[in-house]
Structures are given as structure tokens and as C-alpha cells.
Amino acid sequence: MYNVLISGATGRMGKEVSARINENKDLQIVCGFDREEDFSSSFPIYSKLSDITENIDVIIDFSHPSMTMEILKYAKENNIPIVIATTGFSKEEENTIKEYSKVIPIFKSANMSFSINLMCKILQEVAPMLSDADIEITETHHRNKKDAPSGTALLLANKINESLGNNMNYMFDRHSVSQKRSNNEIGFSSIRGGNIVGEHTVQFFSDFETFEIKHTCHSRSVFADGAVKAALFVVRKSAGMYTMDDLIQM
């Protein structure tokens, strides 16, 4: 049985991951990490990494980029595999994660849902067939989500872009640009409201028809299940960067 540290343990996803691990015979939670300690938890949650004394086999991170970079450094210093499910990293932070993957195994995905990653594969096949279409991505999330567009929206766009030779430009804010839509553009729209877990729609507009692919997530358990599977996958790996593509191909 592998010992797990949950980073972002007091958040919504941290609690979802905790619930999924409690149903798994191969994993057990030994501690958590968050901005504030939670003495009501069934396992210790630390606000200082220096206070951790437990033996840890793998880390699952659903937190905030600043916290991720803290726990990532801890993982590197202690040679611990880590699953990063947090989004919203800067280019500098992304580069740091890549550098650390040369030392420890890192599983990183903007979305832990199997279906979203299946959607990515479908889009990579469809996009070249609709290369003359106008591409727009609309994503909807709960009112408390801070980053926009979502990491998943960027993941979908990046997969489309790769299939089109990385020739596409991303338009995040039409309000600041007074000009016609360019032919090599992927547009983004972000909606925030209520308690919506996540909805992503990719539309291909031509002059006479619209082709649309949509994914709706009804429960955060989907992401927690994916993170648990990722933890069981990466804990057995050598140093390197791993994604949902690696897990799907097992």
C-alpha cells in the first residue's frame, strides 16, 4: 500500500480525492498540505512542509500554482513522485515543472477526466478535416474558479493547434481588439457562475454549417478518480513527465 500526501487537502477537490482514496485498497492518506491546518480532519493537514514527518510515496496536488511550486520543491528534495492536477501556471512555472521532471516522476494534466482526453484525441483527428473553419472554445465553470480560460480549454486548443501544424493564434479578449477575425485563430470564451463543475464546447464554424463537440462534467469525482489512477501509475515510474496519454495507453 502506498502512502499519499494530498496538497490542497481542505479544498473541494482535496476532499474528493480523499473520499476516492478511502475506497482504494492500494492507497492510504497519511497527511495533507494546505494554507491552514485542519484539526477536524481524519489525517494531519500541515501548513508548513517542514512539519511533515510521515513517509510519503506519492503526492496528489489539487491546489493553487503558488502552493504547487512549494510542494513540487518538497517532492524534488525528497525524491517523491507527484501528480499535478492544478492549472493556471505561468510560463516560468511550467519551465520549472519540466526541469524537475528530469529528477522525479511528474504526472501532469490540465484535466484528469478520461473523456476529456478522449475528446482531445477526437479533436486532433477532426481539426485537419475542418481546417478552413473558424474555431471557438467556450468553457463554463463555477463562480469560484480563478483562472480563465480554464486549463482544460487551453489543453483542447493546444491539441487542435498541434494537429494544424502549430500555426494557430489564440484570441482571449476580443473587446480590446477592433478587427475582423483572422483565418488562423482559436477564440476563447469563459463563463463563470453558480456551482457548475465544468463544461467545454469546441465549435467549428463554416459558411453553411457548424460542427460541435461538447463535454459536460456532472461531478468532481471524475477528476478525483483520474488523479487516483494517475498516482498509482506514476508511483511506479522513473523520472520524467507523464500525461493522461500515457495512462490511457497502458
Over its C-alpha atoms, the chain yields an Rg (Å, rounded) of 19
Q: Do 226 and 212 belong to one domain?
A: no
What is the pTM assigned to this prediction? 0.78
Q: Do 62 and 156 belong to one domain?
A: no
* 183: containing domain: 114-217
What's the CATH number where 121 sits?
A: 3.30.360.10
Among 76, 141, 159, 200, which one carries the catalytic annotation? 141
Q: Do 23 and 75 belong to one domain?
A: yes
Question: pLDDT tens, 164-201?
Answer: 999 999 999 888 877 889 889 999 999 999 999 999 99
Q: Do 21 and 99 belong to one domain?
A: yes
Q: Do 136 and 212 belong to one domain?
A: yes
Could you please report the per-residue DSSP string of the chain?
A: -EEEEEETTTSHHHHHHHHHHTT-TTEEEEEEE-SS--TTSSS-EES-GGG--S--SEEEE-S-HHHHHHHHHHHHHHT--EEE------HHHHHHHHHHTTTSEEEE-S---HHHHHHHHHHHHHGGGGTTSEEEEEEEE-TT--SSS-HHHHHHHHHHHHHTTS-PEEE--GGG--SPPPSSEEEEEEEE-TT--EEEEEEEE-SS-EEEEEEEE--THHHHHHHHHHHHHHTT--SEEE-HHHHHT-
Instruction: Determine the length of the chain.
Output: 250
Contact 105, 238 (CB under 8 A): yes
pLDDT on residue 39: 65
Rounded Cα distance, 11 and 21, in Å: 15
Place of cell 492518506: 29
Query: Going by C-beta distance under 8 Å and a sequence separation of 6 or more, which residues neighbour residue 129?
Result: none
Rounded to 5 degrees, what are φ and ψ at 184?
-110, 60
pLDDT on residue 33: 96
Q: Do 10 and 58 belong to one domain?
A: yes
What's the CATH number where 230 sits?
A: 3.40.50.720
Q: Is the peptide bond between 44 and the residue preceding it cis, with omega within 30 degrees of 0?
A: no
Question: pLDDT tens, 78-96?
Answer: 999 999 999 889 999 999 9
142 is catalytic: no
Contact 13, 85 (CB under 8 A): yes
Q: Do 225 and 108 belong to one domain?
A: yes
Q: Do 6 and 98 belong to one domain?
A: yes
Q: Do 178 and 238 belong to one domain?
A: no
108: left (phi over 0), alpha (psi -120 to 50) or beta: beta
121 is catalytic: no
Please count the structural domains in the chain: 2
Q: Is 101 exposed, middle or buried (0-12, 13-18, 19+ CB in 10 A)?
A: buried
The pairing of strands 134-141 and 240-242 is unpaired
| Position 250 confidence tier, pLDDT thresholds 50, 70, 90 | low
Q: Do 106 and 119 belong to one domain?
A: no
**Grid coordinates of 159:** 491539441
Q: Which residue has the higher pLDDT, 5 or 36?
A: 5
Q: Do 19 and 108 belong to one domain?
A: yes
Q: Do 186 and 126 belong to one domain?
A: yes
Question: pLDDT tens, 93-136?
Answer: 999 999 999 999 999 998 888 889 889 999 999 999 999 999 99
Question: pLDDT tens, 203-229?
Answer: 999 999 999 999 999 988 899 999 999
Q: Which residue has the higher pLDDT, 249 or 76?
A: 76
Rounded Cα distance, 74 and 87, in Å: 19
